[in-house]
Amino acid sequence: HQLIVFSVEDDYTFGILQSRLHAIWALRKGSRLETRPRYTSTTIFETFSFPEATQAQRGAVAAIAHELEATRCRWLNPPEWTREDTTTFAASVDGPWRHIVEAPNFDGIGTVRYVRLLPVDAGAARALASRTLTALYNERPTWLRDLHAALDTAVLAAYGLPADATEQQVLAHLLALNLEGRA
């Protein structure tokens, strides 16, 4: 198993990384494990050039990426099948929960309120168990295809590429940016 984490909090970067352009680059520059593609940060992420986008282009990518994430989350955890459960506990400003510690005292101990989603009942738990991103992308409903198409169009525009750019055009453009030292 492998886990790759991108420590970013903005929808724009999320959108670029969820785009067809990044997927094309990843499939070309990554390695393989048996017959499966394998994401390697050194050959993919570190060599991937982000566009020099205008504020309007950044906003367009971010808005669509935000909608994609919110819609996927609603599909994964429909509000009618889930409820919020809040756990409150003491934590240190020096510990792993430091970014959400509230009202720390002189010793640096404060309160953390951790909110998680739980199924509303056993039936919802069974239904939620089958709702994974893999299942969603295997099913690929129209709304998901449409959101990805809109995201790809916005990302292509940010790179100055036409909406109908081919895989070869995308690779050539990304390689040119990479050779300019923009990765």
Which two structure tokens, joined as six digits, stand for 98? 């430091």
- Which candidate, 137, 82, 75, 87, places its Cα nearest to that of 111? 87
Amino acid letter, 172: A
For residue 9, the model assigns a pLDDT of 86
Mean pLDDT in residue range 39-49: 92
Residue 183 predicted with pLDDT over 70: no
For residue 33, the model assigns a pLDDT of 87
Task: Report pTM.
Answer: 0.86
- Alpha-carbon distance 84 to 120, whole Å? 9
More confident residue, 161 or 33: 161
